[in-house]
Structure 1
């Protein structure tokens, strides 16, 4: 007994704090993974937009050349 409290009570409190810390770390890691996933998907989306813009510009140039002839 420590300060009139059984030792296992201190262990339970310690494990509760340890569990909270581990949950906090897991939450932070999950948030970071989600951020990376969002950034990667955003990059893919922006590349698709750029490809579509490039295709449209080529089509416009071809139409302009056909009209001018």
Structure 2
């Protein structure tokens, strides 16, 4: 009997920096807390458990995605 994989979480963050000719960030680190790793391909909205923190720190590059 096959078990179903849980559905992937809905995207909650999107990269918007392309308008400013900025490249997406790959790693966010401030030295005090563990590094936040981001996916290589950010051309589509994606899920990240620390999306609120990323949007707060880099609001000009990332925006939250509101669910339907």
- Using structure 2 for the length normalisation, give the TM-score: 0.22
Higher strand share: 2
Structure (1/2) with the larger helix percentage: 1
Could you say which structure has the greater relative contact order, defined with CA pairs below 8 angstroms and 6 or more residues apart?
A: 2
TM-score normalised over the length of structure 1: 0.21
